[in-house]
């Protein structure tokens, strides 16, 4: 149960801190996303989440623990429940990085999951991250995937280039 408590604390902290697209080298502003639902409390936080992962050329990506939310009527595609994962790109390289070149994939219980865009709540995915990340800068954004209303296994990966796939999260949500 300590892992579950850690996951709940992390989700609560994320809800308080806010998420979305914000670029800065220091403070990260709040953006006012919706609060996580009860389903977030049943999330299993595994070591893959929260770990800083190199994706090449001095760029690293950190994926936070997922937070469950109810998409609005304007979300696409429509989903009863979705899970959002805050992402943070740190560019310690020597050239600007374009986050739009990243491709995020999710699977739910081994089957492909659809990425949910709910701009009303600030879940725009990497498509909302239109600016380059200059050397020494950080960019935050959130990706979301549609999931069933029951406990399921979610695996989220990123493809920084066509030949490389990096797993960012593997757990129960």
* Dihedral over Cα of 11, 15, 16, 19: its sign: positive
Q: pLDDT-derived band of residue 56, with 50, 70 and 90 as boundaries?
A: confident
Domains of the chain: total? 1
Print the domain residue range for 108: 2-172
145: CB partners within 8 A, 6+ apart: 82, 83, 106, 108, 113, 114, 115, 116, 154, 156
Q: What does pTM read for this prediction?
A: 0.68
- Share above pLDDT 70 across residues of the chain, in percent, rounded to a whole number: 69
| Model confidence band, residue 47 (pLDDT cutoffs 50, 70, 90) | very low
CATH number of the CATH domain containing 64: 2.60.40.1240
Segment 36-60 shows an average pLDDT of 59
Q: How confident is the model at residue 8 (pLDDT cuts 50, 70, 90)?
A: very low
């Amino acid at each position: 149960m300590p892992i579950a408590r850690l996951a709940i604390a992390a989700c609560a902290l994320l809800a308080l801190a806010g998420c979305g697209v914000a670029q800065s080298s220091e403070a990260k502003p709040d953006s006012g996303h919706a609060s996580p639902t009860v389903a977030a409390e049943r999330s299993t936080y595994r070591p893959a989440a929260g770990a800083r992962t190199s994706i090449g050329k001095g760029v690293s990506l950190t994926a936070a623990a997922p937070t469950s939310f109810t998409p609005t009527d304007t979300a696409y595609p429509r989903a009863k429940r979705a899970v959002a994962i805050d992402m943070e790109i740190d560019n310690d390289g020597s050239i600007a990085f374009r986050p739009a070149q990243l491709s995020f994939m999710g699977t739910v219980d081994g089957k492909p999951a659809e990425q949910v865009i709910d701009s009303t709540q600030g879940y725009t995915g990497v498509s909302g991250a239109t600016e380059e990340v200059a050397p020494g800068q950080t960019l935050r954004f959130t990706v979301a995937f549609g999931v069933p209303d029951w406990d399921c296994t979610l695996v989220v990966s990123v493809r920084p280039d066509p030949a490389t796939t990096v797993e960012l999260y593997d757990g129960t949500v």
